[in-house]
A and B are shown apart, each in its own frame.
Chain A
Amino acid sequence: EAGVTQSPTHLIKTRGQQATLRCSPISGHTSVYWYQQALGLGLQFLLWYDEGEERNRGNFPPRFSGRQFPNYSSELNVNALELEDSALYLCASSSAPGLAGVNEQFFGPGTRLTVL
């Protein structure tokens, strides 16, 4: 079974540009999560999508946005890039919680975004 995939692996942009990052979840998973891993800051939650809807949002400005497609894949868009947006962006997916109440999230390898 294929894991979570993300593209591109690396992305280099300049300040003010827009970046689009893509994520394909594990087959059968309906939830997709985006996290930012900036140097020294650990993982910060960005966005959670489930069944095509945005379910929760972290403490990030509106220029961070995204969407989930009918096939459950997802895009993260970052507008008006700033230098501090340079980070590893991780996507995770999970299945519906079911009786267990919660299922673990499976992470992709990440997209390394560098803003110059």
Chain B
Amino acid sequence: AQSVAQPEDQVNVAEGNPLTVKCTYSVSGNPYLFWYVQYPNRGLQFLLKYITGDNLVKGSYGFEAEFNKSQTSFHLKKPSALVSDSALYFCAVRDRGGANNLFFGTGTRLTVIP
């Protein structure tokens, strides 16, 4: 069975500070991992993905994520938060040997405080 856990429903960070949004996953094999962002009244926008190779993945809008196989984690990070980063963030996983559909976490609402 595949699953994703986002342990924090809400993350608050001051503008200019680094931010981290946590994600842990469970799959039977090796994972494909994704981060998406959802702005109010909008669909999901793709941020980045981990397929293979370098554990540090760089994505859109200055975001990056680090794949840690031993901790089964894929935390999203950004060195300096912007107010415009405030949104709902979803982590998703897919088993390499499985079907194409994604399993999503319940989302983390990030609020960047000016």
Contacts and interface: CB of A to CB of B under 8 A. Distances in A.
Contacts of A108: 43
A42 B43 contact: no
Interface residues of B, number: 25
Place the interface of chain A in its size category: 20 to 34
Given A102-B51, A104-B49, A48 B43 contact: no
B43 A90 contact: yes
Interface stretch (B20-28, B63-71, B75-83, B104-112): B104-112
Interface of A: 4, 31, 33, 35, 40-45, 48, 50, 55-56, 58, 90, 92, 94, 97, 100-102, 104-110
Contacts of A58: 101
Given A42-B105, A42-B107, A100-B51, A107 B100 contact: no
B101 A109 contact: no
29 contacts: A31-B100, A33-B100, A33-B101, A33-B102, A41-B106, A42-B90, A42-B104, A42-B107, A43-B90, A43-B92, A43-B102, A44-B104, A45-B101, A45-B104, A50-B100, A56-B99, A56-B100, A90-B43, A90-B44, A101-B32, A102-B51, A102-B100, A104-B34, A104-B49, A105-B46, A105-B102, A107-B44, A107-B45, A109-B42
